[in-house]
């Protein structure tokens, strides 16, 4: 019971911190900002996290993990690879359009301070999740016989690239739909090929 | 003759400034830095450009323009759409791997100061160039019957996304080859479909 509450508090801290990192970048966010935003006391916050970097690292891990969980949940729930893909692509589309949660600048700042290691391991975990999923879709005859690892990296780069771009230019809904359609086109076999 | 020399000097200024912007971002580069790097006098430099923003805007325009010129040159020279694509993809691959010319951070800083307009117009010009090229490849029966505009944006986002990512994590040669292979896979018809 208490453990569950702790888990929930950590999640709430991350949700608040994510919005702050997206708004201000990494460097400018202090533990005090996070106290104010969450309404936790200093002591309360420090029970869960010792510094913003720890929270940021956790946010990155959980973004990737929840993408993997989503794919796994859909497949376990009896969805086909193509149906699972469509659900996750819809989620990615919403992410791309939600500039309030775009971490590009925070990510660049974080890497300048802590080096690339943390981000590399998150990226390679993300690649593994997608690679597994694409392999499974190929084995089921639904996905194109592509290089699963290359395709996995391409999806992540497109996703991160689109999120980075949204900081610079405003996307129309058509634009984002087009991107998602292209990812789908790369992955899913056309009906006549099945 | 004098006009040609002026054009060449402008190009040299841009080449030097590009390296500075890639290294330091946009905000920190001064006209004085560019004088030192080019070896031009202040008067000499100001004859061609009045401020770093003007140089930066020109660099963006010319990056896109030279991509278009390259595609046009290849097609005019009798290359097929697929051959032209392969030449340009090879060029993009080299760009992605060349961290000395990556403008992501400069681009973000520039947009924060001058707004998205300048970058949006460069991006839409880039999209137009690719869109035309993809349409031509489709009309020649070599490219997949994709949405040319969506595919064009996807290529640019992948390219920019990969360049942004190279600031964060180090890519293996395989990784970049995989990305390029995925772009090619999206665009070019498989032999059995032609």
Q: What domain range is B75 assigned to?
A: 53-193
Q: Which residues of B touch A108 (CB under 8 A)?
A: 104-105, 108, 167-168
Structural domain includes residue B9: no
Number of domains making up chain A: 1
Structural domain includes residue B93: yes
pTM of the full predicted structure? 0.87
User: What is residue B44's predicted lDDT score, i.e. its pLDDT?
Assistant: 94
Q: How far is CA B164 from CA A10, B121, B150, B152, B156, in A?
A: 30, 19, 21, 18, 12
Asked if the Cβ–Cβ distance from B178 to A153 is below 8 Å, we say: yes
Structural domain includes residue A32: no
Structural domain includes residue A116: yes
Structural domain includes residue B20: no
Distance from CA of B143 to the nearest CA of A (A): 13
Q: Is B104 on the interface with A (CB under 8 A)?
A: yes
Window B:40-69, CB contacts with A under 8 Å = none
The pLDDT tens digits for B30-74 are 999 999 999 999 999 999 999 999 999 999 999 999 989 999 999
User: What is residue A114's predicted lDDT score, i.e. its pLDDT?
Assistant: 87
The pLDDT tens digits for A56-110 are 999 999 999 998 999 999 989 999 999 999 999 999 999 998 888 889 889 888 9
- One-character DSSP codes across chain B: -HHHHHHHHHHHHHHHHHHHHHHH-STT--HHHHHHHHT--HHHHHTT-SSHHHHHHHHHHHHHHHHHHHHHHHHHTT--HHHHHHHHHHHHHHHHH-GGG--HHHHHHHHHHH-SHHHHHHHHHHHHHHHHHHHHHHHTT-B----HHHHHHHHHHHHHHHHHHTTTSPPPHHHHHHHHHHHHHHHBPPGGG-
Question: Mutation test of the interface with chain A: which of B178, B180, B187, choosing the one with the most A Cβ atoms within 10 A?
Answer: B178
Considering only the beta carbons, identify the residue of B161, B178, B185 that sits closest to A161.
B161
B90: domain CATH number is: 1.10.357.10
The pLDDT tens digits for A10-33 are 999 999 999 999 999 999 999 999
Structural domain includes residue B99: yes
User: What is residue B186's predicted lDDT score, i.e. its pLDDT?
Assistant: 92
The pLDDT tens digits for B14-24 are 999 999 999 99
């Amino acid at each position: 019971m208490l453990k569950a509450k702790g888990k929930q508090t950590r999640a709430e801290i991350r949700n608040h911190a994510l919005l702050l990192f997206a708004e201000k970048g990494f460097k400018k966010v202090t533990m005090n900002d996070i106290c104010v935003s969450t309404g936790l006391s200093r002591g309360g916050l420090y029970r869960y996290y010792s510094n913003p970097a720890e929270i940021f690292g956790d946010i990155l891990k959980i973004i990737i993990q929840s993408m993997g969980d989503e794919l796994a949940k859909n497949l376990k729930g009896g969805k086909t690879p193509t149906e699972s893909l469509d659900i996750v692509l819809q989620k990615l589309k919403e992410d791309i359009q939600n500039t309030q949660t775009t971490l590009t600048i925070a990510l660049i700042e974080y890497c300048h301070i802590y080096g690339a290691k943390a981000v590399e391991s998150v990226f390679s975990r993300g690649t593994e999740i997608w690679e597994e999923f694409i392999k499974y879709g190929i084995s089921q005859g639904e996905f194109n016989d592509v290089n699963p690892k290359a395709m996995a990296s391409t999806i992540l780069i497109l996703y991160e690239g689109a999120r980075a771009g949204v900081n610079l230019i405003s996307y129309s809904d058509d634009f984002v739909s087009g991107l998602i359609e292209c990812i789908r086109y790369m992955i899913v076999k056309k009906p006549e090929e099945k």
